[in-house]
Amino acid sequence: MKSLDKALGIDTAITRRDFVGSMLIGAGSALLGCTSPPKQLIDKTSRQYDDPWTGFGGVGDYATSNGNTRQVMLDSHKLRDQEKPAIVKSASPTGEEFDLVIIGGGFSGLGAAYQFQAKSENKSCLIMDNHPVFGGEAKENEFNVNGYRLFGPQGSNGFAVPQSVNTLSDEVYRIIGMPMEYSFSDNKEDFGIRTPYDSYDAMYWGENKFDVGYHFRENGKSNWIKNIWKDDLKRTPWSDVLKKDMLRAFRSQENSFSKKNLGAWLDSMTYKDFLEIELGLDPGVTSHLDPILAIANYGFGCDVISAYGAYLLALPGMQGFHNFDPTSSLTDQKIYSFPGGNTTYLRHIVKYLIPDSIKGNSFEDITYNKINFSALDKPGKSTRIRLNSTAVDVYEANDHVKIVYYRNGKPESIIAKSVVLAAPGFMAKNVVSKMPQNIYQNYNRFHHGPALVVNVALNNWNFLEKLGFSAGRWYDGFGYFGSIRAPMNIGGRDIPFHPDKPMVMTFYVPFYYPGNSIRDQGTMGRGELLGKIYIDYERQIRMHMNDIFGSAGFNAKKDIAGIILNRWGHAYISPQPGFYFGGPSNTGLTDPMKKGHGRIFYGHSELGSRMNYRNAISEGGRAGEQAAKIVQG
């Protein structure tokens, strides 16, 4: 193993970590069931990090908050492990009272704070977040490679400039002063490669606008095929039947179904049944789409996700209803990414709410300057953010709500006139005491899929230039898709775009197990995601990249500068059939939550039709406005 690791560029002795890793692989998330980090699992002299499970977090403000770190998991699992009564009993009151407390500091929580302040006057608002840095999944990883600052998304990635105001997110975007036009480094030199501006577009929705390679194995031999749609799949090793059905699925404009009551009908079946039974497509089409559906929005594959969810994403078989062909180069939907994904947009909202949170006022300043953590939770400010604070109990009593939370190893309590739950539903149902039965029962029908987002800092990307593409899809090994992005030009900062210079390659990795129930797939996925320590993933990633890119000269030892893992155990809401229209009178499972109860309201992204930053802001904003009405009286 040591000789292999040396060849891969993993030169540090790893005896202790190997031992820990072998225990965890069979035990799933056993480590996370511990009430405190076992000291014997931490080797502070190893490599560039203290925690062998969380691993390297990069540099800068987000270095201690890459995904759900082990400490965040341990604190959150105190609820799962029935420690709530003891924590509530021992909580010390801080003596603070707020008009509104928001639990969750991602787009939903900030949307709630924005709308609450817009709809009330001189009211106080505290946002609580259980991570070391605000943002939820809209955080970034930062590397320093050969003097260059490089960034990658931890999760939330891809945005469109709003051309009109149709949602609260569109309003917020304009009010906080976000630019309406952007330029990218490939405008000057593209090296003959069409490169995406975000990490999703080339997966499916804008694939023909970019150069995408597909990796196949034929008779044990590795083979890359570039832009498979260019010649109607003729170069692929697929059977004639599968080629025909792939073309039909991806390019058909047929509309053989009535649009009347379309939503409820689609929500009555899985996407797999829609593809294979209603459309009669080869199961190979389903297998091809499984990881796209899973990582795009829903966590799992076609066999357990509602066909209506696929409709909302304009996935194949739905073009007749959307009139949208993702394989057409004429598709002109422009999807962009900031250097660290949607982190930049979220940072601008924080800056708007708490002006001293980031020094400077220009777009460049707010994108790149350090966070002023001391300004986030200052007494007397209308909006405050309290980090490293895990909500444990929300209890409504007469004219106020008591919130118990766990911060820096101590339970504390505060009082609020109203509360917005902008945290995921699986947390909300465990946090809120005396939750109405219909809300609790519906939350019990929520399922969540895990995801892993990996950012690999490269010393160069000559291997991609040699292959002639900037994004790749494969069918075995680690994950299924990875890409680089053309960097956004911001001010005078130099993010290089040259094959000889550093670049970040991002992998979005789903966990799904066709043939198992949606509940079992969640358990299995989280077991796999959480059951490996960092070095197990690092070794797997380096071996995989050597395998598929080695023919183009890639060598993990010399070409990889750093790897950051971002683990999200409940990344996506996973809507099974009946999620959208399976309630009374064709209502969805989310309807009761949107009404709230008493002084408690729910405004997290899962309550939107699908999870994205726009729906997160809108759902949070709705709950913030509901809270404002209560507080205003």
* pLDDT tens column, 548-597: 999 999 999 999 999 999 999 999 999 999 999 988 788 899 999 999 99
The closest of 618, 577, 591 to 263, measured between CA atoms, is 577
Hey, which residues does 510 pair with through a beta bridge?
Answer: 451
Q: Please report how the helices 107-119 and 343-353 are oriented relative to each other, as an axis angle in degrees rounded to 10.
A: 30
Angle 340-67-148 from CA coordinates, rounded to 5°: 35
Same domain, 314 and 215: yes
Q: Which sign, positive or negative, has the C-alpha torsion 371, 377, 379, 384?
A: positive
Strand (E) or helix (H) holding 118:
helix 107-119
Q: What is the DSSP string of 131-192?
A: SSSS-TT--EEEEEETTEEEEEESS---B---SS--SHHHHHHHHTT--S---BGGGT--TT
Same domain, 565 and 597: no
Angle 42-43-49 from CA coordinates, rounded to 5°: 90
**What pLDDT does 39 receive?**
32
Band of pLDDT at residue 81, cut at 50, 70 and 90: low
Same domain, 150 and 118: no
- DSSP type of residue 274: I
**What pLDDT does 324 receive?**
59
Higher pLDDT, 450 or 257: 450
Mean pLDDT over each residue of the chain, to the nearest integer: 90
Higher pLDDT, 256 or 564: 564
Question: Does the structure show a pLDDT above 90 at 389?
Answer: yes
Residue where a domain stops, chosen among 296, 322, 348: 322
Question: Does the structure show a pLDDT above 90 at 46?
Answer: no
Same domain, 418 and 480: no
Question: Does the structure show a pLDDT above 80 at 49?
Answer: no
Strand (E) or helix (H) holding 614:
helix 613-632
Of 43-57, 220-234, 412-426, the range with the lowest mean pLDDT is 43-57
Q: What is the DSSP string of 384-452?
A: EEE-SEEEEEEEEETTEEEEEEEETTEEEEEEES-EEE-S-HHHHHHHBTT--HHHHHHHTT--EEEEE
* CA 174 to chain CA mean position, Å: 24
Same domain, 206 and 310: yes
Give me the residue label for tokens 């929300």: 394
- Cα–Cα distances in angstroms (integers) from residue 579 to residues 266, 292, 309, 445, 446, in the given order: 11, 20, 9, 8, 8
The total number of structural domains in the chain stands at: 3
**What pLDDT does 17 receive?**
34
Q: List the structure tokens of 570.
A: 């409940």
Residue % of the chain over a pLDDT of 70: 90
Under 8 Å between Cβ of 119 and 418? no
Residue % of the chain over a pLDDT of 90: 79
Please report whether residue 348 resides in a domain: no
Please report whether residue 330 resides in a domain: no
**What pLDDT does 306 receive?**
97
Please report whether residue 397 resides in a domain: yes
Same domain, 242 and 258: yes
Under 8 Å between Cβ of 294 and 480? no
Beta carbons within 8 Å of 118's beta carbon, 6+ residues apart:
none
> Could you tell me the strand order of the sheet in which 389-397 lies?
92-98, 410-416, 400-407, 389-397
Give the structural domain span for 626: 83-134+376-445+575-632
Same domain, 208 and 307: yes
Same domain, 503 and 567: yes
Domain CATH number, residue 496: 3.90.660
Dist. CA 64–CA 129, nearest whole Å:
14
Same domain, 457 and 591: no
Band of pLDDT at residue 218, cut at 50, 70 and 90: confident
**What pLDDT does 398 receive?**
85
Give me the residue label for tokens 């928001």: 102
Please report whether residue 608 resides in a domain: yes
User: Helix H segments across 481-606?
Assistant: 518-530, 534-549, 556-559, 591-595
Please report whether residue 508 resides in a domain: yes
Please report whether residue 76 resides in a domain: no
Please report whether residue 589 resides in a domain: yes
Dist. CA 522–CA 526, nearest whole Å:
6
Same domain, 420 and 294: no
Q: List the structure tokens of 50.
A: 């203290």
The residue-averaged pLDDT of 14-34 equals 34
Range ranked top by mean pLDDT from 29-38, 319-328, 496-505: 496-505
Same domain, 478 and 545: yes
Q: pLDDT tens-digit profile of 416-436? A: 999 999 999 999 999 999 999
Higher pLDDT, 107 or 322: 107
Under 8 Å between Cβ of 382 and 122? yes
**What pLDDT does 595 receive?**
96
Q: List the structure tokens of 423.
A: 């945290």
Dist. CA 126–CA 104, nearest whole Å:
10
The closest of 548, 629, 564 to 595, measured between CA atoms, is 629
**Residue 215 φ/ψ, nearest 5 degrees:** -100, 120
The closest of 464, 458, 457 to 191, measured between CA atoms, is 464
Residue where a domain stops, chosen among 525, 545, 573: 573
Beta strands in 108-161 (DSSP E): 125-128, 140-145, 148-153
Same domain, 109 and 66: no
Please report whether residue 28 resides in a domain: yes
Dist. CA 378–CA 510, nearest whole Å:
39
Beta carbons within 8 Å of 235's beta carbon, 6+ residues apart:
225, 228
Band of pLDDT at residue 333, cut at 50, 70 and 90: low
pTM of the model: 0.93
CB atoms within 10 A of CB 471: 25
CB atoms within 10 A of CB 31: 21
Angle 264-267-271 from CA coordinates, rounded to 5°: 145
Under 8 Å between Cβ of 254 and 262? no
Q: pLDDT tens-digit profile of 469-486? A: 999 999 999 999 999 999
The SS3 call for residue 605 is: helix
Q: List the structure tokens of 547.
A: 């395998």
User: Helix H segments across 402-553?
Assistant: 425-431, 437-443, 462-467, 518-530, 534-549
Dist. CA 151–CA 535, nearest whole Å:
21
Domain CATH number, residue 624: 3.50.50.60
The residue-averaged pLDDT of 278-305 equals 97
Burial classification of residue 122, based on how many CB atoms lie within 10 Å of its CB (0-12 exposed, 13-18 middle, 19 or more buried): exposed
**What pLDDT does 320 receive?**
65
Dist. CA 221–CA 348, nearest whole Å:
49
Burial classification of residue 496, based on how many CB atoms lie within 10 Å of its CB (0-12 exposed, 13-18 middle, 19 or more buried): middle
* CA 361 to chain CA mean position, Å: 28
**What pLDDT does 575 receive?**
97
Burial classification of residue 542, based on how many CB atoms lie within 10 Å of its CB (0-12 exposed, 13-18 middle, 19 or more buried): buried
**What pLDDT does 409 receive?**
83
Residue where a domain stops, chosen among 530, 549, 573: 573
Hey, which residues does 213 pair with through a beta bridge?
Answer: 226, 472
